[in-house]
Structure 1
Amino acid sequence: MNQYRYETHLHTTQASACARVSAAEHVNFYKKAGYSGIVVTDHFFNGNSCIPKELPWEQRIDLFCKGYEDAKKEGDRIGLSVFFGLEVNFRGTEFLIYGVDKAWLKNHPDMLSWTVDEQYRHVHAAGGFIIHAHPFRVRPYIKEARLFPEAVDAVEAINVGNGSDEFDRQAMDYAKQHHFPVTAGTDAHGKESLHSGIAFQHKIKDMQDLIDSIRSGEGELILPQ
């Protein structure tokens, strides 16, 4: 039975305008809930970010990374693994990016002007991994479901924030159609009543291990509970 559980999609008040709890609060919650780790995926500057737009690029990146850094510090203190990611937005279509870091973000001040295809090329050049987040979600800020099967590596097939089994079913069908590996996540902002993620039979040692484990399909999706 898979015993190491990981939250794959999480937002903190340090960087995401929509988050309801801080990085440290998330870490303590997931530790008590029996998880082995989390991925902090705060909204980047083209999404629901709380980082001031008028600041210099490097300062904005420093502030953006505070959610992850604060979570990592608390995670190291209490024994919960914390990994870095981000969620980017293209006119309502959102992607989770794994496998890049603060230095990479600082070195790409032009990234807000990239197309989805350009993003894919740059992220892959860095050894990163892109997950299409909640691809069929319906919200006022999402004008239509737009799919980019040639510019992603995986599909988020379960997202608690969707609040809809139908959106999840469509995402799973889409992933199967294109033979994509799948992920599950809470899209945690804090104070959710249900949580999800992926469970593995081994403890994830770093982000590359997580990417490889998702790509291989060895994890078990955690149904919202």
Structure 2
Amino acid sequence: MNGLFNGIEGYPYLYETHMHSSESSACAVNTAVEMAKAHKAYGYTGMVMTNHNWGGNTAVDRHSSWHDFLDAFFAPYYLAKEWGDANDFCVLPGYEAGYHGTEFLIYGVDIEWMYDHPELREATVAEQFDIIHSGGGIVVHAHPFREASYISEIRLFPEYIDGVEAVNAAHVAPYVPKDNIKFNEKALKYARELGIFITGGSDSHSVDLVGGGMAFADRLRDIHDLAERLRNAGPDDYRVTDGVRIYDAYGGQL
């Protein structure tokens, strides 16, 4: 972790909206509490925990019962939230849904609501969209143009998303090939063509942070507040950053 958030004029509250912890994501290095501490030290106001779900690279037994899966999956969220509540750091629940390499960030549904909707486990992309909406949530296509060994093909579902994660800071981190920025450039173009809001996050898997995320003029109240702000976003309602570049809510670079 080499940098610190110095603020975006008019938008002082930075939130990480895409991150993983080792308890629930098999590819993550650090625990949820370690991630919370690192984000707080960097200057973030809060973070949304988006671990890989039953269809992705989960560290939880995907064959366990629905109730048991959710218990184990969200356990690190509760640990991080407990630390956050005691240290003026906001920790919110979300998850990253996986469909054979195509991934979606889910924001705005209650964990308790999920216990009553086991149909999510077998839902198609289209069915997921309707189910998440029924719970007041939103679906954001994560890094839609990423090229990686675990992604066999790029698949787009414009009719089944609310927004696009067009700014993924992992694509411009110092340790990745410089031309990976093209994944973000394509995603920005895609979102602009669709005329839908963008999000941004670091896709962080360890405490080696790069400073991506979303900045707001005031603090988020809860995960429902985030979903509502995104759903009704105007261009200047928030800012998106990869740690260097800054964009408005619809992908305009500032």
How does the TM-score come out when normalised to structure 2?
A: 0.85
User: Which deviates more from structure 2 when the two are superposed, residues 156-165 or residues 113-122?
Assistant: 156-165
User: Which deviates more from structure 2 when the two are superposed, residues 107-116 or residues 1-10?
Assistant: 107-116
Instruction: State whether structure 2 residue 240 is matched by structure 1 residue 221.
Output: yes
Q: Quick one: which amino acid aligns to residue 48 of structure 1?
A: N
Asked if structure 2 preserves the Cα contact closer than 8 Å seen for 1:42 and 1:67, the reply is no
Query: What is the CA-CA distance between 1:193 and the residue it aligns to?
Result: 4.7
Q: Quick one: which amino acid aligns to residue 41 of structure 1?
A: T
Q: Quick one: which amino acid aligns to residue 17 of structure 2?
A: T
User: Where in structure 2 are the equivalents of 1:72-221 lying within 5 Å?
Assistant: 72-163=81-172, 164-215=180-231, 216-217=233-234, 218-221=237-240
Asked if structure 2 preserves the Cα contact closer than 8 Å seen for 1:40 and 1:67, the reply is no
Q: Please give the alpha-carbon distance, in whole angstroms, between the structure 2 residues aligned to 1:198 and 1:8.
A: 7
Q: Please give the alpha-carbon distance, in whole angstroms, between the structure 1 residues aligned to 2:43 and 2:29.
A: 21
Q: Please give the alpha-carbon distance, in whole angstroms, between the structure 2 residues aligned to 1:192 and 1:150.
A: 35
Instruction: State whether structure 2 residue 27 is matched by structure 1 residue 8.
Output: no
Instruction: State whether structure 2 residue 66 is matched by structure 1 residue 57.
Output: yes
Q: Quick one: which amino acid aligns to residue 69 of structure 2?
A: R
How many residues end up aligned between the 2 structures? 225
Query: What is the CA-CA distance between 1:101 and the residue it aligns to?
Result: 2.3
Query: What is the CA-CA distance between 1:37 and the residue it aligns to?
Result: 0.7
Q: Please give the alpha-carbon distance, in whole angstroms, between the structure 2 residues aligned to 1:114 and 1:189.
A: 26
Query: What is the CA-CA distance between 1:110 and the residue it aligns to?
Result: 2.6
Asked if structure 1 preserves the Cα contact closer than 8 Å seen for 2:33 and 2:79, the reply is yes
How does the TM-score come out when normalised to structure 1?
A: 0.96
Q: Quick one: which amino acid aligns to residue 50 of structure 2?
A: T
Q: Quick one: which amino acid aligns to residue 186 of structure 1?
A: S
Query: What is the CA-CA distance between 1:59 and the residue it aligns to?
Result: 1.0
Q: Please give the alpha-carbon distance, in whole angstroms, between the structure 2 residues aligned to 1:141 and 1:103.
A: 31
Q: Quick one: which amino acid aligns to residue 241 of structure 2?
A: I
Q: Please give the alpha-carbon distance, in whole angstroms, between the structure 1 residues aligned to 2:208 and 2:227.
A: 26
What secondary structure does 1:52 align onto? coil
Q: CA offsets, 1:92-128, max 9 Å, x none?
A: 1000001112222222223222111100011001110
Q: Please give the alpha-carbon distance, in whole angstroms, between the structure 1 residues aligned to 2:147 and 2:23.
A: 26
What secondary structure does 1:65 align onto? helix
Q: Please give the alpha-carbon distance, in whole angstroms, between the structure 2 residues aligned to 1:81 and 1:93.
A: 28
Alpha carbons of structure 1 residues 191 and 133: separation in structure 2 relative to 1, 3 Å:
same
Which residue in the other structure is 2:252 paired with?
A: none
User: Percent identity at matched positions?
Assistant: 39
Query: CA RMSD, aligned part only?
Result: 1.3
Which residue in the other structure is 2:32 paired with?
A: 23
Which residue in the other structure is 2:48 paired with?
A: 39
What secondary structure does 1:112 align onto? helix
Which residue in the other structure is 2:4 paired with?
A: none
What secondary structure does 1:150 align onto? helix
Q: Please give the alpha-carbon distance, in whole angstroms, between the structure 2 residues aligned to 1:101 and 1:176.
A: 30
